Homo-oligomer: A and B are copies of this chain.
Amino acid sequence: MDAAEFRKRGKEMVDYVADYLEKIEKRQVFPDVEPGYLRPLVADCAPQDPESFEDVFKDIEKIIMPGVTHWHSPYFFAYFPSASSFPALLADMLCGGIGCVGFSWAASPACTELETVMLDWLGKMVNLPKEFLAEKDGQGGGVIQGSASEATLIALLAARTKIIRQVQSEKPELTEAEIMGRLVAYASDQFCATLGTTSCCSFDKLLELGPICNKENIWMHIDAAYAGSAFICPEFRHLLNGVEFADSFNFNPHKWLLVNFDCSAMWVKKRSDLIGAFKLEPLYLQHHHQESGLVTDYRHWQIPLGRRFRSLKLWFVLRMYGVKGLQEHIRKHIRLSHQFEHLVLQDERFEICAEVVLGLVCFRLKGSNELNEALLKSINDAKKIHLVPCHLREKFVLRFAVCSRTVESTHIKFAWQHISQLATDLLKTWEHNHHQQ
């Protein structure tokens, strides 16, 4: 395929993607396929000779789409949102076209510098303390990781390296293994200090944890993967109070800030803590600017060596939505979750299981776990909407997460009426069976 054919096919693909997203509501949100559906539909091995774009293109609807869970359907209420927006898609096309690998400043200066500045923009949007910003001569700064798990791992490894070096300088007779065996990581069952847990969007009390960590010289990492995006709204920023005690902080614009996966934003107060743990300097990666102290080489901030030009997505989204546009998006989702909460509260058969703070509603039928498992099964078997459950203090609970960029009040009403009807049907059978037993 040459550039001329790419112009033609690329435009067809733009239309396909636009069609897909415009009409996604008409597709069944969860697929009908059974495990192993795909293998018999494709060849046993790669073709020796090239196939045409048409051959491949027609297989998208035939082979791929029947097995897709439509995360951007307004009937998708499972997990947490995965961000998607047109400006981010455009930026990713540009990112692919440039196709640079930004492991060092010299490998593509724009890739590094835009990232540093965009993380400053984003940090200011959530009103992070100044120590987390890079600005012209700060000690801190931000980096884009692939996921919150990677950010947590990076924080853990940096903390470990820092404390090992400190102990080694005080007690040089100890080996690294001996020190490691004595290190302790304090965590809840959600691991680190978490703002907006996946199960029920609960919040750790940073203002209690923070001072203890600081006093005891414990590295404090805060994971706000989902909730972090909400802190761009002044009325939710108080949930982040206490971040000033942290050493590192992370949230995922690829969840709730309309920046397509992957874009997990991480900040540290002292970039030297990260670089100290991961520094890698083979000759082929060195460049004459690095000794100046003026440049950032992001390979020292992460596990992988290679990295894409992901800050373009942030740049496009932040500019083309503006802070106000993004705030509107967050506020709409939170308004819709409260709409759902109120619908649940009006039905005496149901209960709300956790405070609704952001875009997640945890609810259940009053009754046994088995009853609620059966309700969830009937919801997901009907495939008109899609939800996943969680456990809250031994209780089986249904999670209703407002996810899609295009979800509106009508979808929420439909979802509730549907759930309510399925509950009615279920309770009839359930009571009948129960009566017979």
Which A residues are within 8 Å of any B CB, using their own CB? 1-7, 9-11, 13-22, 31, 33-39, 42, 45-53, 55-56, 60, 63-72, 79, 82-90, 92-94, 96-101, 105-111, 113-114, 116-117, 120-122, 124-125, 136, 146-150, 153, 175, 177-178, 180-182, 198-199, 254, 260-262, 282-285, 289, 292, 294-295, 303-306, 308, 312, 315-316, 318-325, 388-391, 396, 399
Q: Would you mind naming 11 contact pairs between A and B with Cβ atoms under 8 Å apart?
A: A1-B87, A35-B109, A47-B323, A53-B87, A63-B110, A68-B108, A69-B108, A79-B284, A101-B261, A146-B304, A282-B390
Q: Which residues of B contact A1 (CB under 8 A)?
A: 85-87, 320
| Pair A316/B56 contact, Cβ less than 8 Å | yes
Distance from A78 Cβ to chain B, minimum over Cβ atoms (Å) = 8
Interface pair B97/A16, CB less than 8 Å apart = yes
A224 to chain B, nearest CB (A): 15
From A31, which residue of chain B is reached at the shortest CB distance? B109
* Closest Cβ neighbor of A316 among chain B residues: B56
On chain B, the residues within 8 Å of A260 by CB distance are: 96, 99
- Residue of B46, B86, B254, B306 near A319 (CB, 8 A) is B46
> A389–B9 contact, CB under 8 A?
no
Given A97-B21, A122-B46, A198-B282, check contact A110 B3 (CB 8 Å).
Answer: no
Task: Evaluate contact between B304 and A149: CB separation under 8 angstroms.
Answer: yes
A71 touches B90 (CB 8 A): no
Q: Is the pair A108, B46 in contact by a Cβ cutoff of 8 Å?
A: no
Cα separation A20 to B96 with both chains bound (whole Å): 11
The residue from B56, B71, B100 contacting A68, defined by CB atoms under 8 A apart: B100
A207 to B90 CA separation, bound complex (whole angstroms): 48
CB distance from A381 to the nearest CB of B (A): 10
**A28 to B: closest C-beta gap in Å:** 13
Q: What residues of B have a CB within 8 angstroms of the CB of A312 in the complex?
A: 64
- Interface pair B18/A6, CB less than 8 Å apart: yes
Which of B3, B69, B303 is in CB contact (< 8 Å) with A18?
Answer: B3
- Is there contact, CB below 8 Å, between A318 and B82? no
Nearest CB in chain B: distance from A43 CB, A = 8
How near does chain B come to A166, taking the closest CB pair, in angstroms? 19
Q: CB within 8 A of A69: which of B86, B106, B289?
A: B106
Copies of this protein chain in the complex: 2
CA distance A125 to B83 in the complex (A): 35
CA distance in complex: A42, B311 (Å): 14
- The residues of B that contact A84 with a CB separation of less than 8 Å are 96, 99
Q: In the complex, what's the smallest C-beta–C-beta distance from A291 to chain B, in angstroms?
A: 11
With A50-B321, A305-B147 known to touch, is A89 a contact of B97 (CB < 8 Å)? yes
Question: Given A35-B294, A39-B117, A391-B283, are A10 and B14 neighbors across the interface (CB < 8 Å)?
Answer: yes
- Which residues of B sit under 8 angstroms from A107, Cβ to Cβ? 69, 79
Q: Tell whether, in the assembled complex, residue B38 and residue A113 are in contact, meaning their CB atoms are under 8 Å apart.
A: yes
Complex Cα distance, B324 from A14, in Å, reads: 29
In contact, B6 and A89 (Cβ under 8 angstroms): yes
**Contact of B146 with A146 in the complex, beta carbons under 8 Å:** yes
- Smallest CB–CB gap between A296 and chain B, Å? 9
- Cβ of B306 and Cβ of A38 under 8 Å apart? no
A31 to B121, CA, bound (A): 25
Kindly report which residue of chain B lies nearest to residue A315, judged by CB atoms: B56
Give every chain B residue within 8 A of A153 (Cβ-Cβ).
303
Report chain B residues within 8 Å CB of A120. Answer: 45
A118 to B33: give the CA distance in the assembly, Å.
Answer: 19
Q: Tell which of B14, B96, B136, B388 touches A7, judged by Cβ atoms closer than 8 Å.
A: B14
Residues in chain B near residue A125, CB distance under 8 A:
45-46
CB contact between A117 and one of B38, B48, B320 (< 8 Å): that residue: B38
